Amino acid sequence: MSNLRIVDPAAEWSEMLVNVEMRDTGGLAKILRAPQACPEVTQVERARG
């Protein structure tokens, strides 16, 4: 993980931006699935670019 930033924190929700460097897409898939197991997390997406 190279960067963690909380964007627009609010009382009911917050947006977190996390930068990670992965060797392969298999590892990336695991990273994206893990937060989705938490009921408080409503969305996980991969940003490109």
For the segment 1-42, what is each residue's pLDDT rounded down to a tens digit?
Answer: 778 888 877 778 888 888 888 888 888 888 888 888 889 888
**Whether pLDDT at 49 is above 80:** no
Rounded Cα distance, 38 and 49, in Å: 27
Q: How far apart are CA 15 and CA 22, in angstroms?
A: 22
Task: Please tell me the total count of domains within the chain.
Answer: 1
Q: Which domain holds residue 30?
A: 1-49
3-state SS class at 24: coil
